[in-house]
């Protein structure tokens, strides 16, 4: 007979799995809906902005990575993206019992961002980027890129929190 603690742990594991899948699905959906808004527009000049002096809307069809890296490598970057997303998802589900809520969110954002841009790469031959900082030079990006960046930042934060907690346990 399963103990109450085992039941609670399995519910927590199931909740993290469901949360991961919901975040991935919703983030990919938001990413694709925002990109679809620009489907009939030509890339180039500023379409709107600046908003609050921070961002412009500038449509770019990106066949490479950030900062023009790997230009015209759309298919290869799409394959690489899917491989990384699969590896992260496998790692997440293999370690789900030890994974924190913050790490669950982080992994979901990274996977969703990778999938969102991979969809563009395979369906259109380029990634639709449209958010541009107006106050400093930075590559034009999209909702998928925000997911990858924020997911990575949350993952680093979660690791720092865990390291600090481990360090504090040693002080006792």
Record the pTM: 0.86
pLDDT at position 14 is 93
Residue-wise pLDDT for 87-136, tens only, equals 999 999 999 999 999 999 999 999 999 999 999 999 999 999 999 998 88
**145 catalytic, yes or no?**
yes
Which member of 6, 56, 145, 171 is catalytic?
A: 145
Q: Which of 129, 137, 166, 171 is catalytic?
A: 129
Full domain range(s) for residue 25: 4-170
Measure the CA–CA gap between 63 and 39, rounded to whole angstroms. 16
Percent of the chain with pLDDT over 90: 63
- Collapse the DSSP code of 134 into the 3-class scheme (helix H, G, I; strand E, B; otherwise coil) and give the result: coil
Q: What is the mean pLDDT of residues 69-81?
A: 87
What per-residue confidence (pLDDT) applies to 145? 96
Radius of gyration (Cα) for the chain, nearest Å? Answer: 19
Average pLDDT of span 3-25: 80
Residue 4's pLDDT band, with cuts at 50, 70 and 90, is very low
Give the 3-state secondary structure of residue 1.
coil
6 given a catalytic annotation? no
Q: What is the pLDDT of residue 10?
A: 65
Q: Half-sphere exposure (CA, 13 Å, Cβ side) for 100?
A: 13
pLDDT tens by residue, 131-164: 999 888 888 899 999 999 999 999 999 999 988 8
Give the chain's domain count.
Answer: 1
């Amino acid at each position: 007979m399963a103990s109450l603690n085992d039941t609670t742990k399995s519910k927590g594991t199931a909740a993290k799995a469901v949360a991961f899948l919901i975040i991935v699905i919703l983030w990919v959906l938001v990413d694709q809906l925002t990109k679809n808004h620009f489907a009939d527009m030509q890339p180039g000049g500023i379409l709107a902005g600046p908003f609050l002096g921070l961002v412009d809307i500038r449509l770019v069809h990106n066949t490479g990575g950030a900062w023009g890296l790997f230009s015209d490598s759309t298919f290869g970057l799409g394959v690489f993206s899917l491989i990384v997303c699969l590896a992260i998802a496998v790692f997440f589900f293999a370690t789900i019992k030890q994974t924190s809520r913050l790490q669950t969110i982080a992994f979901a954002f990274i996977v969703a961002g990778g999938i969102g841009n991979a969809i563009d790469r395979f369906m259109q031959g380029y990634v639709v980027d449209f958010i541009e900082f107006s106050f400093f030079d930075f590559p034009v990006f999209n909702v998928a890129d925000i997911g990858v960046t924020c997911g990575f930042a949350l993952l680093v934060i979660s690791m720092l929190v865990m390291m600090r907690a481990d360090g504090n346990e040693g002080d006792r």
